[in-house]
């Protein structure tokens, strides 16, 4: 077992967020098999979630007994992502909010969200800080080793996130 702040993750295995895969039905299946201590939604555009768009709400749906559950958001606007974090806590009642800083997906990176944020540490800090201030939930950031082989800055970004309270 390990903890994400006060939340025990037991067994200590997390279902990775996967776009187009980890929807409610898939996560139900995984839960029914057992062995997984935390499930995570697929990445959800922070803006759509903050504005309660129907598709975003579908992506964020979880069962009342699917706990602990983490909702992953992405984007590049600190205020919008802060609204999304607030929404995850106050409207969805999830256990954890996660920021996607790890996705190389074209859909995410074309708007410079996801792992593209690792190329902009100052903006990444503003996002993490704004999200941290917006919610009292445990807040995690999923990241890659770096944007590419030449820029493996995950340790620096991780230290920054920790310093900001993620």
Ligand X SMILES: Cc1cc2nc3c(=O)[nH]c(=O)nc-3n(C[C@H](O)[C@H](O)[C@H](O)COP(=O)(O)O)c2cc1C
List contacts with ligand X (CB under 6 A): 16-19, 21, 42-43, 72, 100, 102-103, 142
Of 120, 122, 50, whose CA–CA distance to 90 is shortest? Answer: 50
* Active site (catalytic) residues: 103
Which CB atom, from 20 or from 64, has the smaller least distance to ligand X?
Answer: 20
SS3 (DSSP) at 72:
strand
CA angle at residue 37 from 31 to 43, to 5 degrees? 80
* Min separation Cβ 103 and ligand X, Å: 5
Of 14, 62, 16, 4, whose CA–CA distance to 35 is shortest? Answer: 14
Residue closest to ligand X (Cβ): 16
* Min separation Cβ 41 and ligand X, Å: 8
β-partners of residue 9 are: 2
Q: What's the CA gap between 124 and 77, in Å, rounded? A: 10
Which CB atom, from 64 or from 87, has the smaller least distance to ligand X?
Answer: 87
Which CB atom, from 35 or from 64, has the smaller least distance to ligand X?
Answer: 35
* Min separation Cβ 142 and ligand X, Å: 5
Which CB atom, from 54 or from 106, has the smaller least distance to ligand X?
Answer: 106
**Cα–Cα distance list, 73 to 84, 122, 141, 151 (Å):** 7, 19, 10, 23
């Amino acid at each position: 077992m390990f903890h994400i702040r006060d939340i025990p993750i037991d067994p200590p295995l997390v279902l990775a967020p996967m776009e187009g895969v980890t929807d409610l039905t898939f996560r139900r299946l995984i839960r029914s098999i057992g062995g997984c201590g935390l499930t995570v939604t697929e990445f959800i555009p922070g803006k759509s979630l903050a504005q309660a768009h129907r598709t975003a709400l579908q992506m964020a749906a979880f069962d009342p007994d699917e706990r602990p559950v983490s909702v992953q958001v992405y984007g590049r606007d600190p205020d919008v992502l802060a609204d999304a974090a607030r929404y995850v806590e106050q409207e969805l009642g999830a256990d954890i909010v996660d920021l996607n800083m790890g996705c190389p997906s074209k859909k995410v990176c074309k708007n410079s969200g996801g792992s593209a944020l690792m190329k902009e540490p100052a903006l990444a800090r503003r996002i993490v800080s704004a999200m941290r201030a917006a919610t009292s939930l445990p807040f995690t950031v999923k990241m890659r080793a770096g944007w590419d082989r030449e820029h493996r800055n995950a340790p620096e970004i991780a230290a920054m996130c920790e310093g900001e309270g993620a």
